Homo-oligomer: A and B are copies of this chain.
Amino acid sequence: MTERKVFRTLLSLEEARNRILEYFSPQPVGFEETPIWQALGQTTAEDIHSSIDVPGFDRASMDGYAVRANDTFEAEERHPVKLRVIGTIEVGDESGIEVRTGEAAEISTGAPVPKGANAVVMVEHTQRKDDQLDVFRPANPSENIMAAGSDLMTGELVLRKGERLTPREIGLLSAIGLERVKVCRRPKVAIISTGNELIPVGGSLSYGKIYDINANVIASAVTECGGEALLAGIASDTIDDLKQKVEAGLEHADIVLTSGSTSAGKGDLLYRILDSYGSPGVIVHGLAVKPGKPTFVAITRGKPVFGLPGYPTSALTIFTLLVRPIISRMTGRQETEQEERVVAKCASRIYSAKGRREFLPVHLIKDETGSLLVYPTTEGSGAITSLAMADGFIDIPEETQFLEEGEEASVQLFSQTPILPDLVIIGSHCVGLDILLECIRRSDPSFHSKIINTGSAGGFNAIKRGEADVAGIHLLDELTGKYNLPFLERYGIRDTALVVKGYVRQQGLIVAKGNPKGINGIEDLLTSDVSFMNRNRGSGTRVLFDLCMKRIANERKTTTERLVSKVKGYEIETKSHSAVAAAVSHGKVDAGLGIRTAAEMYGLGFVPIAEEHYDFLVLRKRLEKESVKAFLEALGSAEFKTQLQRRAPGLVPSEETGTILS
């Protein structure tokens, strides 16, 4: 390991932002001419004035008759004025008709009002026979006429420089006949990933390597905020490769982003390269925020180079805080911050890192009143599932140790078009749940759910905290031999939550097709040639397995600990039935405990062990939430039961499915 570089002066986020602006002024980098409808989302590069009047002529705004207003002043319902119809003017006509006193011309909405006429009488206020017209009401001058230039005048400022084009602005540009519009060119952003462990997506992984996640995450985030991403590939940790990639980035792009290799260690190489191009070089080296300590910024050949942290959630957080505003400004956008923020209430006390300002990844859920609740994501920052769960992050100041339950927090969103789920399901995983959600979406295609697999215990906790709307659970109580209901008391949610009947599942050992090792039950896992894959602690399946172990240990008069040490793979945990089946299917292990359905989906063998009750836990007050209603309705429906029987043979619904048990 090379010498470690110490971060001497960590800057605050604001200091870093100011220092960047001292050396670099984020301005549009040029313009391009684009057909107007394709310029959607881009920003005008100049003020745009109308070169024409809109409309270009006095335009009838009703179907009727063009007249001289003076001729109709005496018209009454009982004593109509009589005029002579001299012709018809259709939309788009250049008729040459002139209306004189005593005359009228039939006219369509949108057609040009003829010379001489200064009003249009609505057809409803007339009666016509051949060329004789009776007018029953007087018309005022200008009535039902949209005057030339009254909408937009020649010379009028139609759009300012720096306006973002939505369909409305594109309508304005169409009205003045503009075919192409000068918009700010998207700034080009070169994206370099660094690290010897990285393999580009699509490549094949050797031992110790991982796929490059940041390149694609950052590229899509750049696209989302209006930049043009240039994927510059992966640089290995050598001077030559880093230098070559950085120089190519500086040549072709307006901004260069790197990620990884910025922490102490080999990261030094990058600073040395960036400083070698002359002043100012590296201007920010280390941020006093969590995450983001290893962040750096350099100004090289007049262009900003950012070094983002290596973990995807951290990289996207620092990108959002430091880089996105710069790119936005360079697109010429008048981006307002509130677009990317929502205010939500802390569902419980949220603790923060001591002594550092923290940008904490959070996820959002709507409660029964539609208010947003905020929860910290529970996975570590290195996990991609942490990024997948996080809707954004909250800013906790250095001196704040926690946010109180119920306190309002402003959430900065990771995506500019966040999709908040209608229904959040946290708990035990079951393929029956997938089938149920499909049933709901068949009748409501816009129904959006978020599923987080934490096992049954995680489901109880999530319902207790209000973090989930629904939890799938199958916990066996050792004392009573009953499933699920006894745990309401144990988790202290007897009065606030209830259990809805789900279905019965067959649990058993998932083994290879044809059961080549001849496994007949749990005891066979204690022989040395059978490898096993366990489930995660807190999952109902794991509880079942541990109870089996306990029973056998009692029979054999030994301790559970000693017994499980004989199970080869007891310590290897995985999170779902499918994952167990996949591991067996790939020959990684010989057996794992899981449901029959998973075994059948993978065409594997199955050794039945127990029947268990898979039910759903719901917070009482959330019964009012529309999405929860839809969920329970679908659960009790005949369609769901039919689908379940057809597609998941190991899952058995009953008459009671969908009814409340407590």
> Taking beta carbons and an 8 Å cutoff, which residues of A are in contact with B?
1, 26, 36-38, 40-41, 49, 52, 54-57, 59, 61, 63, 88, 90-94, 106, 108-112, 146-147, 149-157, 160, 162, 164-180, 195-203, 205-213, 215-221, 223-224, 229, 231, 263-265, 310, 312, 316, 328-329, 333-339, 379-380, 382-385, 387-388, 390, 414-420, 422, 434, 441, 445-448, 572-576, 578-579, 581-583, 585-586, 588, 602
Find the residue from A55, A175, A264 having the highest chain B CB count within 10 A.
A175
CB distance from A206 to the nearest CB of B (A): 7
A155 to chain B: which residues have CB within 8 Å? 578-579, 581-583, 585-586, 602
- Cα–Cα distance between A41 and B52 once the two chains are bound (Å): 38
A573 to chain B: which residues have CB within 8 Å? 147, 150
How many subunits of this chain does the assembly comprise?
2
Q: A382 contacts B146, CB within 8 Å?
A: yes
Q: B336 contacts A384, CB within 8 Å?
A: no
Q: B414 contacts A167, CB within 8 Å?
A: yes
Q: B174 contacts A211, CB within 8 Å?
A: yes
Q: A583 contacts B195, CB within 8 Å?
A: no
Closest 8 CB pairs of A and B: A155-B582, A179-B202, A92-B197, A92-B196, A153-B579, A166-B415, A175-B384, A112-B208
Q: B212 contacts A56, CB within 8 Å?
A: no
6 contacts between A and B (CB under 8 A): A26-B445, A93-B208, A167-B224, A168-B414, A335-B446, A336-B419
Q: A109 contacts B448, CB within 8 Å?
A: no
Q: B167 contacts A220, CB within 8 Å?
A: yes
Q: A195 contacts B446, CB within 8 Å?
A: no
- Cα–Cα distance between A81 and B611 once the two chains are bound (Å): 50
A264 to chain B: which residues have CB within 8 Å? 63
- Cα–Cα distance between A170 and B195 once the two chains are bound (Å): 20
A92 to chain B: which residues have CB within 8 Å? 195-198, 208-209
Q: A37 contacts B90, CB within 8 Å?
A: no
- A177's partner among B175, B203, B215 (CB-CB below 8 A) is B203
- A265's partner among B108, B165, B219, B575 (CB-CB below 8 A) is B108
Q: A151 contacts B231, CB within 8 Å?
A: no
A316 to chain B: which residues have CB within 8 Å? 167-168, 171
Q: B579 contacts A201, CB within 8 Å?
A: no
Q: B166 contacts A419, CB within 8 Å?
A: yes
- Cα–Cα distance between A249 and B265 once the two chains are bound (Å): 61
- Cα–Cα distance between A572 and B147 once the two chains are bound (Å): 9
A328 (CB) vs chain B CBs: closest residue: B446
- Given A154-B586, A171-B217, A334-B445, 20 other A-B contacts at CB below 8 A? A38-B223, A41-B417, A54-B210, A57-B207, A61-B380, A63-B265, A91-B197, A92-B197, A110-B210, A152-B384, A153-B582, A155-B583, A157-B578, A172-B387, A173-B216, A175-B210, A175-B213, A336-B422, A336-B446, A416-B417
